[in-house]
Amino acid sequence: MVRCMSTSKSSKATKNHVGLHPHAPPNDTELQTIAELVQRHSGIVYQPRNYTSLVRAVTNRMAHLGVTHTHKYLMRLNNLEKPDELTKLTALLTVQKTSFFRDRSQFVLLEENALPDILSRSETVPANLKVWSAGCSTGEEPYSIAISLLRRWPYKNTTSILATDISAQALGKALLGSYRKLDLEPLQDQELTFFYREKDIWRVNERARSIIDFKFHNLVSVPFPVPSKGFWDIIFCRNVLIYFNQETIKEIIKRFHQVLSPQGYLFLGPSESLYRLVEGFDLVSTDNAFVYQKSSPETSSAAKMRPKRIGPTPKQPIENIPMVIQTPCKLDTSIGSTDIDLEQSLRLAKELLENNDIQAAFHRYLEISTAHPESKHPYIMLGKIAADRGSLEEALSWLQMASKIDPLDVEPRFLSAVLHHRLGRDQESADELKKVLFLNGNLIPGHYYLGVVADHLGDHDTALRCFRNVLKTIGTHADKSTCSIMNTLQLTLEMLESASRAHLKRLETKSARKRSNKR
């Protein structure tokens, strides 16, 4: 029933988009042709199951151009004299959520590990530092890189950043360097000094802007840029490879390898892996992040640091307990269960966790996620490990990957909601928890956390209802999802019951006082 409702919503969304042009909606053949044109132009792969976003982008462009029939729009896409329409369509398909210092743990690695390493190997002083931000979107990433370099690289006048993207619209915004106050929320006080205010807009100062050069670049169809002297010391290409098929990814990574200096660094997104794709890179990891370093014949693989474990303390409230790795509930290996290699790999990774070899387990799950992209389990476990070591944004990325594979699994959705709450994004947390409880109305931790989040948002009626639901549901049989989530968070039903009663008492007392004051 739930699956049918989900499918119905998806179909409705597609009809609404196509409804802008009711006389000639794109049919499957036309969408396939458009998808092939987009892939040849940009390398972005669209399968029929992903056509909803393709339809949205196509109808957006058709409405903008005043074109009411898809076959006429196809003529525009195939017009060699005006090839910019494919670029504009592709730009709509590649708009990514971005923010300043996204996945901050990678910037910590950049400042504390990569930059000192590059400086120590430099043969000339002052050393030139050349960085490429590929897929820079609206500029938050290259400006974050600039801030990191300006506060940690000693030779400011020999630093340069090339920032490229396939979207002219995104590049235009990046070049302006103008942002809303809301966009600056991830920044720390010292980082805010690189901005100045003009009315309601915050602009990047000249100090940071001066070292960045913004240019159009297509990773698929255009030769890779190379600095006038030498190679790139660092390349950022984060959350871009997810658009491409494996063959295209291999080619892009090979070309990155060609333009990187010996022992240069390649920063990918936390859910992107080079495992079994190309050779010539070493995985370099710290407690909270990992990047790739170009292998050098003169050096051995970079040393890997073992992560520090973060455990709960008695003073922490229940909702702040870390996601300590526990696996008493048997892993569900129904996806790909006929694949012995997958089952064996999951079992070996689980044994590494049980032996407290967290770093080895992390890399094993990373390997499994690449070898078996259809399985959600390695992504869930990668999310748990990342959350356990305090890398919450990275953990969120892994769990969102699991939810894409199986949208009806409540565990990654629930854990994502908990992470949103810990990151201070209570509204996102509440929205996700409501979806979780729609899928499983008996999920006791779901009711409890929605109560906590609603309380934070000032929605005391919802909070009261949720804590009462915990007490109402506490006597029912705990299902498999509840068991797994309770194990992950190291909770017991007694703990949730006690905490819910305490929350209820406080909220009911507050409500009674309000009623008394009104009288």
DSSP for 318-372, please give it. Answer: GGG--------SPP---TTTT-HHHHHHHHHHHHHHHTT-HHHHHHHHHHHHHH-
pLDDT digits (tens, 9 = 90+) for 96-108: 567 899 888 899 9
Nearest alpha-carbon partner for 175 in 153, 208, 147:
208
Provide the whole-model pTM. 0.50
Choose between 35 and 49: higher pLDDT: 35
pLDDT of residue 178: 94
- Is the sign of the CA dihedral 63, 69, 73, 79 positive or negative? negative
Could you tell me the two tokens for 108?
A: 């910590």
pLDDT on residue 284: 85
Write the DSSP symbol of residue 408. T
Confidence of residue 170 (pLDDT cuts 50, 70, 90): confident
Tell me if residue 165 falls in helix, strand or coil.
strand
Query: Are the C-beta atoms of 278 and 250 separated by less than 8 Å?
Result: yes
Confidence of residue 50 (pLDDT cuts 50, 70, 90): low
- Please name the helix (run of DSSP H) or strand (run of DSSP E) that holds residue 413, with its range, or none: helix 410-422
Phi first, then psi, for residue 294 (nearest 5°) are -60, 130
Count of Cβ atoms closer than 10 Å to residue 304 Cβ: 15
Give 41-55 as a DSSP string: HH-B---GGGHHHHH
Reduced to 3 states (helix: H, G, I; strand: E, B; else coil), residue 174 is: helix
* Closest to 423 (Cα-Cα) out of 460, 451, 458, 397: 397
Quick check: 19 pLDDT over 90? no
Record the tokens describing residue 382, joined without a space.
Answer: 């990668």
Three-state DSSP state, 457? coil
pLDDT at 455 over 70: yes
Mean pLDDT of the chain: 77
Would you state the pLDDT for residue 249?
85
What digits encode the pLDDT tens for the residues 299-346?
444 333 332 222 233 334 555 444 433 333 333 333 333 344 788 888
Q: Which pLDDT value is given to residue 192?
A: 95
**DSSP label of 244:** B
